[in-house]
């Protein structure tokens, strides 16, 4: 891609960007939220047409008017939100729209055989061509997308934040898949905010900033600090804000023997001024616990003070807030302005508060346009609106489920500072994060869940090994 430029609504979001990917390489594209990464990839995939610049594949100049044309030219893009049909089988999805036909009928067995071979070539044994997509985990659906890309003979595979919805152990599987693709000579373009992944996988890294390319370099020539400097344009200390110095205050929320279909015997206090980290493996019940405390999926047994909320509405009324991990379910009004979205809960709780714009600045909404429609924001910026929406209400207890997922490194630091400030002002905070360094760095103590029960508690500054041990021990 050479000199790619693109404007939306008169704003230049890509400015003469060059990008090159060689056969068999993983080329990572990194940058802050709103830098233009997804837009550049959508241009490659024929979703958007560039205003300027050229694209060449195998030395031949191409111009895509439609995603199907890009697909035919060998470009496959795997979005975070998959395009699979849940009620169809794996094989049907892989061959959607180009089913093999024999004697006028769809040749199911040919389709299933071919799909089976593709899955085997990817080392996938946990499901088969006849399984319904709706029964598959996110990671398995990703494999289906990759199988589809292979069946289309893709030469270039784009992955836009592929690990954002994966559990830790699934991330390892994705690494293996990516390596299988490059071993076949496929070029993988890989977008992620997790720098660990970038250094694990990438051969080369291109950094975008405000729509322009600031660098392309061999991954081996950079370290985290250097990469962050390129992305953010300044030094960024890799430290978390200091933990609470004062002992925590009174318990603002207490549960004794809390239970429901997914949780058992939960005893937990969340006290004023503390950040409690909630750790556990995928499926251990972390999200379920946050939802039960909030009332969205209530406890059916046990005692809770100040009250046991039976619905989200009751939770909010009791002074509890929940930032869920699922942005879609967060009820952002996509066609409305950022500012109105940020005020959604405040208005519902009849607690209009001043200072929205300042808060949006603090979570580093980029570009800082409170009047922008939410649907036009990049993924990470939508997440910041969700955070602002709850922080503005300042509930007494705030539960965060993966608060910084999809958020860039610079903005992450800003959000961490804000969380610590809220705690210092007397809020009780519970935080779930699959990124252990973040969980450990932020928490005053860490509660570990296992199979829906509390397996134990660890003090601030415990090691990743200690957390994992407690989470996995049987
Ligand atoms: N369809 C659109 N209409 C108007 N503006 C858009 C549109 N799509 C993207 N933008 C704007 O283009 C800029 C780049 O967005 P893009 O989604 O490419 O960022 P990104 O680098 O992928 O960020 P993130 O890390 O948050 O995913 C942002 O300012 C975004 O608001
Ligand atoms: Mg993006």
* Ligand 1 atom with minimal separation from the 366 CA: 29
84 lines ligand 1 (CB under 6 A): no
CB 350 within 8 A of CB 318: no
The whole-number pLDDT of residue 37 equals 96
pLDDT digits 0-9 by tens, 229-253: 999 887 776 678 988 888 999 999 9
Q: What is the mean pLDDT of residues 285-307?
A: 95
Q: Which residues of the chain are in CATH 3.40.50.300 domains?
A: 2-232, 251-472
Nearest atom (ligand 1) to Cα of 377: 31
Helix (H) or strand (E) holding 320: strand 320-323
**Interval 105-147: pLDDT, tens:** 999 999 999 999 999 988 888 999 999 999 988 888 888 998 9
Is the distance from the beta carbon of residue 295 to the nearest atom of ligand 1 less than 6 Å? no
Q: With bands split at pLDDT 50, 70 and 90, how would you rate the model's confidence at 367?
A: confident
Query: Which residues pair with residue 216 across a beta bridge?
Result: 206
Query: d(Cα 154, Cα 149) in Å, to the nearest integer?
Result: 5
Q: Tell me the per-residue pLDDT of 208-230, one tens digit each, with 9 for 90 and over.
A: 999 999 999 999 999 999 999 99
Whether residue 404 has its Cβ less than 6 Å from ligand 1:
no
CB atoms within 10 A of CB 250: 11
- What is the CA(54)–ligand 1 centre distance, in A? 20
Residue 38 Cβ inside 6 Å of ligand 1? The answer reads yes
The hierarchical CATH code for the domain 251-472 is 3.40.50.300
> What ligand has the least distance to the C-alpha of 33?
1
Cα angle 312, 314, 318; round to 5? 115
10 CB under 6 A from ligand 1? no
Query: Does residue 379 line the site of ligand 1, with CB under 6 A?
Result: yes
Query: At the fourth CATH level, which superfamily is domain 2-232?
Result: P-loop containing nucleotide triphosphate hydrolases (3.40.50.300)
**CB of residue 383 inside a 6 A radius of ligand 1:** no
Listed in sequence order, the residues at least 6 apart from 452 whose beta carbon sits closer than 8 Å to its beta carbon are 262, 263, 264, 284, 285, 288
What distance lies between CA 299 and its chain's CA centroid?
27
β 105-106/204-209 pair status = unpaired
pLDDT in tens, 249-289: 999 999 999 999 999 999 999 999 999 999 998 789 999 99
- pLDDT, residue 81, reads 66
pLDDT in tens, 81-99: 667 899 999 999 999 888 9
Distance 379 CA to ligand 1 centre (A): 8
Residue of 38, 162, 338 with the most ligand 1 atoms within 8 Å of its CB, for mutation:
38
| Model pTM score | 0.86
Our mutation pick for probing the ligand 1 site, out of 5, 6, 7, 8, counting the most ligand atoms within 8 A of Cβ, is 8
Q: How many CA atoms lie within 13 A of 164 on its CB side?
A: 25
- E strands, 19-162, are 26-31, 52-57, 60-62, 75-78, 101-102, 105-106, 156-160
- What is the number of the ligand closest to the CA of 10? 1
Half-sphere exposure of 120 (CA within 13 A, CB side): 6
Could you tell me the two tokens for 98? 């180009």
Residue 309 is classified by DSSP as: -
- Alpha carbon distance, N-terminus to C-terminus of the chain: 52
Given a contact cutoff of 8 angstroms between Cβ atoms, the answer to whether 282 and 165 are in contact is no
Q: Are 176 and 123 in contact (CB under 8 A)?
A: yes
Q: How many CA atoms lie within 13 A of 458 on its CB side?
A: 24
Which ligand 1 atom minimizes the distance to the CA of 11? 5
Determine the residue of 378, 381, 405, 411 to mutate for testing ligand 1's pocket, defined as the one with the most ligand atoms within 8 A of the Cβ atom: 378
Phi and psi at 257, nearest 5°, equal: 65, 30
Which amino acid residue places its CA nearest to atom 16 of ligand 1?
36
Contact 21, 156 (CB under 8 A): yes
CA of 173 to the centre of ligand 1 (A): 29
């Amino acid at each position: 891609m050479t000199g790619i430029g693109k404007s939306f609504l008169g704003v230049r979001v890509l400015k003469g960007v060059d990008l090159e990917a060689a056969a068999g390489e993983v080329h990572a594209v990194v940058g802050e939220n709103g830098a233009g990464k997804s837009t550049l990839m959508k241009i490659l995939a024929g979703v958007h047409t560039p205003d300027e610049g050229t694209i060449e594949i195998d030395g031949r100049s191409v111009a895509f008017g439609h995603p199907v044309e890009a697909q035919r030219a060998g470009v496959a893009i795997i979005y975070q939100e998959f395009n699979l049909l849940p009620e169809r089988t794996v094989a049907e999805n892989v061959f959607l729209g180009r089913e093999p036909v024999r004697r006028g009928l769809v040749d199911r067995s040919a389709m299933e055989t071919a799909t089976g071979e593709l899955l085997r070539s990817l080392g996938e044994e946990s499901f088969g061509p006849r399984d319904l997509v709706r029964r598959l985990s996110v990671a398995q659906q990703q494999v289906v997308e990759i199988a589809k890309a292979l069946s289309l003979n893709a030469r270039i595979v784009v992955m836009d934040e592929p690990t954002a919805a994966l559990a830790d152990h699934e991330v390892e599987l994705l690494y293996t898949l990516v390596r299988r693709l490059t071993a076949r000579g496929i070029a993988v373009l890989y977008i992620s905010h997790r720098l660990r992944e970038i250094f694990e996988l990438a051969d080369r890294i291109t950094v975008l900033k405000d729509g322009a390319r600031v660098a392309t370099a061999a991954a081996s020539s950079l370290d985290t600090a250097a990469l962050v400097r390129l992305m953010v344009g300044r030094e960024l200390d890799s430290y978390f804000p200091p933990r609470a110095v004062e002992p925590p205050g009174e318990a603002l929320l207490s549960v004794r023997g809390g239970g429901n279909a997914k949780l058992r015997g939960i005893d937990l206090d969340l006290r004023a001024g503390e950040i409690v980290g909630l750790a556990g493996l995928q499926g251990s019940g972390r999200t379920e616990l946050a939802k039960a405390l909030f009332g969205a999926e209530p406890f059916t047994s046990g005692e809770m003070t100040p009250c046991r909320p039976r619905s989200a509405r009751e939770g909010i009324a009791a002074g509890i807030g929940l930032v869920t991990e699922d942005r879609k379910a967060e009820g952002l009004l996509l066609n409305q302005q950022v500012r109105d979205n940020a005020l959604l809960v405040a208005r519902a709780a009849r607690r209009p508060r001043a200072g929205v714009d300042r808060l949006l600045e603090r979570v580093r909404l980029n570009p800082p346009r409170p009047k922008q429609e939410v649907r036009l924001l990049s993924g990470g910026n939508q997440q910041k609106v969700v955070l602002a929406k709850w922080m503005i209400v300042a509930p007494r207890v705030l539960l965060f489920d993966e608060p910084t997922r999809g958020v860039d490194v610079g903005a992450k630091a800003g959000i961490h500072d804000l969380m610590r400030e809220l705690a210092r002002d007397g809020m009780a905070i519970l935080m779930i994060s699959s990124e252990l360094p973040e969980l450990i760095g932020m928490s005053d103590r860490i509660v570990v869940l296992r199979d829906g029960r509390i397996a134990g508690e660890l003090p601030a500054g415990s090691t990743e090994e200690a957390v994992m041990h407690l989470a996995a021990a049987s």
